[in-house]
Amino acid sequence: MWNINELINGRSGFIGVISSYISENELNLFKEYIKNNFVNDGGLVYVCSSSIKEQCLQFLNELDKDLKKLININRLVLISRDEYIVNRKINMDKLINRIAMEIARLSEIIADKKTCVYICVDSFWNSLNLRKVREVYIKLRELYNAGKANFIIRYIVEDIDNPHIIPILQYHDYLIVDGVDNFEAYTPEELVHKALTLLSEKHSINYKCYKVMMKNEYLENMEQSMAGIIHDINNLLVSILGYAQYSLQIDDMNEIRKGLEVISRLALDGSCITKKVKSNFKRSFETQKDIYKFNYIVENCLDMVKHKFKSLALSKTKNLELSVSLDSKNYIYANEYDLRHSINNIIQNGIEAMEDRGILTVRTYDEGDNIVLEISDTGCGIDERLMNHVFKPYFTTKGARGTGLGLSIAKKIFEEHGGKIYIDSKVGEGTKFTIYFPAIKFDESVAEKKQEVYNTD
């Protein structure tokens, strides 16, 4: 805490304090002035609001006896500035005359000691025009130059209008920035230079911080994007391995051929993934969309996981069933790869939730202008307390086995296709995902021709 002696000792005594509502309470500063002035046989003229004056009087009544003796000899003057305010304007001429009178009276009491005049300036200052403000400063400096008093004027900077800032710099010998334990006194020129330097440094630091923030944001997006790509690659490898293992278990050449066709399609998906990886570094990837029959996409999804059901069908100890009802007749404008892998993420979650035993149901149907996709399982279900977290990135209930990205990526892709996803789950009974997509009108004959092309890819 700075004190009155430190402010005045060794420098001119017409000082401004740049303060704030978040700085030290005014009454706490007043207590410091009381201690320093009266212990050193000085006088104090304290110009404050009526509320502060009442608090000061209460404080004086609580002082110890030795300090009260000093107060009783009239070396402290409390002036309520509110007594000089009429119609929201302050009569500074009368107030200055009162200050001058009290300085003269105190100079007779304290002999060679000086009086300190402390004035707190807030919004009342704005009622004065600039010409009047300059007149006030001139009169106060005349009192100071008479050698009987030092002045400390504390400004609540939030309350001072911009035009009144210039006179503060013009008429004070030193300015103190309040709100720090170890103050520094500045000449007005030094303060302006310091402020401009700090402002320049602030903008430079802000710009550097902005660049670092943008870089971190890019790296964070890259990390999440790459994690999603790794998740997709893992799903591809699981499906490829599954079909390869299933093909080794059977002798039916038609089934083996179908498995190889799916593996070939999954390998082409891998090519699409590598394009995405390149695009992440070049920032040039554009999602390619076209018109597809919705059931075509869902059938391709099921092709990627049917090996799981077929392999378990060969086992006598496990029973995993797939129930499919694809009744939608509508078409969708979509990126087939993105949408297929997002749907597959939900299907894979359902399979894992059932732990090789249960029924996975996949349904499609049309409802008004929407295509509805339902994917339900009879697995372990999701705790109600976790329902609000299932679509958040990196949230998983699978421990080290899960990345927590499948559902978050799926939701993002669905929304990019104008879709909405809903989830209903009960612990011990299973989970159902319902996704709504906007259907598009498309000429049936053209659609069938395009469909044939897609099926040969």
The 3-state secondary structure of the chain, one letter per residue: CCCHHHHHCCCCCEEEEEECCCCCCHHHHHHHHHHHHHHCCCEEEEEECHHHHHHHHHHHHCCCHHHHHHHHCCCEEEEEHHHHEECCEECHHHHHHHHHHHHHHHHHHHCCCCEEEEEEECHHHHHCCHHHHHHHHHHHHHHHHCCCEEEEEEEEHHHCCHHHHHHHHHHCCEEEECCCCCCCEECHHHHHHHHHHHHHHHHHHHHHHHHHHHHHHHHHHHHHHHHHHHHHHHHHHHHHHHHHHHHHHCCCHHHHHHHHHHHHHHHHHHHHHHHHHHHHHHCCCCCCCEEEEHHHHHHHHHHHHHHHHHHHHCCCCCEEEEEEEECCCCEEEECHHHHHHHHHHHHHHHHHHHCCEEEEEEEEEEECCEEEEEEEECCCCCCHHHHHHCCCCCCCCCHHHCCCCHHHHHHHHHHHCCCEEEEEEECCCEEEEEEEEECECCCHHHHHHHHHHHHCC
Q: 114 pLDDT exceeds 50?
A: yes
Least confident of 8-17, 22-31, 150-159, 194-203: 22-31
At 343, list the tokens.
């749907």
Q: What is the pLDDT of residue 278?
A: 63
CATH for 4-186 is 3.40.50.300
pLDDT band at 12 (very low <50, low <70, confident <90, very high): low
- Taking the C-alpha atoms of residue 396 and residue 399, their distance in angstroms, rounded to an integer, is 7
Q: Give long-range contacts, CB 8 A cutoff, 24+ apart: 264-267.
A: 265/300, 265/303, 265/457, 266/236, 266/239, 266/240, 266/304, 267/240
Q: Which residues pair with 290 in a beta bridge?
A: 334
First to last CA, the chain: 79
Q: 337 pLDDT exceeds 70?
A: yes
CB distance 118 to 37 below 8 Å: no
Instruction: Return the closest-CA partner of residue 176 out of 167, 165, 185.
Output: 185
Q: 375 pLDDT exceeds 90?
A: yes
pLDDT band at 280 (very low <50, low <70, confident <90, very high): low
If you average pLDDT over residues 211-228, what whole number do you get? Answer: 73
If you average pLDDT over residues 303-310, what whole number do you get? Answer: 78
Q: Where are the domains of the chain?
A: 4-186, 213-455
If you average pLDDT over residues 114-138, what whole number do you get? Answer: 87
CB distance 378 to 362 below 8 Å: no
Predicted confidence (pLDDT) per residue in 62-78, tens digit: 655 655 565 555 778 88
Q: Maximum Cα–Cα distance for the chain, whole Å? A: 120
Q: What is the pLDDT of residue 369?
A: 92
Q: In terms of C-beta density within 10 A (0-12 exposed, 13-18 middle, 19 or more buried), how is residue 27 classed?
A: middle
Q: What is the pLDDT of residue 418?
A: 93
Percentage of the chain exceeding pLDDT 70: 75
Q: What is the pLDDT of residue 450?
A: 47
Q: What is the pLDDT of residue 285?
A: 47
Least confident of 98-107, 114-123, 151-160, 176-185: 176-185
Which of 2.60.40.1760, 3.40.50.720, 3.30.565.10, 3.10.20.30 would CATH assign to domain 213-455? 3.30.565.10
Query: What is the residue-averaged pLDDT of the chain?
Result: 79
If you average pLDDT over residues 21-28, what whole number do you get? Answer: 60
Entry pTM: 0.48
Q: What is the pLDDT of residue 394?
A: 64
Q: What is the pLDDT of residue 368?
A: 92
Q: 138 pLDDT exceeds 50?
A: yes
Least confident of 4-8, 151-155, 186-190, 421-425: 4-8
Q: What is the pLDDT of residue 366?
A: 94
Q: 203 pLDDT exceeds 80?
A: yes
Residue 327 or residue 18, greater confidence: 327
Q: What is the pLDDT of residue 92?
A: 92
Q: What is the pLDDT of residue 140?
A: 93
Q: What is the pLDDT of residue 35?
A: 64
CA 50 → CA 54, 74, 85, 210, 434, distances in Å? 6, 19, 11, 47, 68
Residue 399 or residue 112, greater confidence: 112
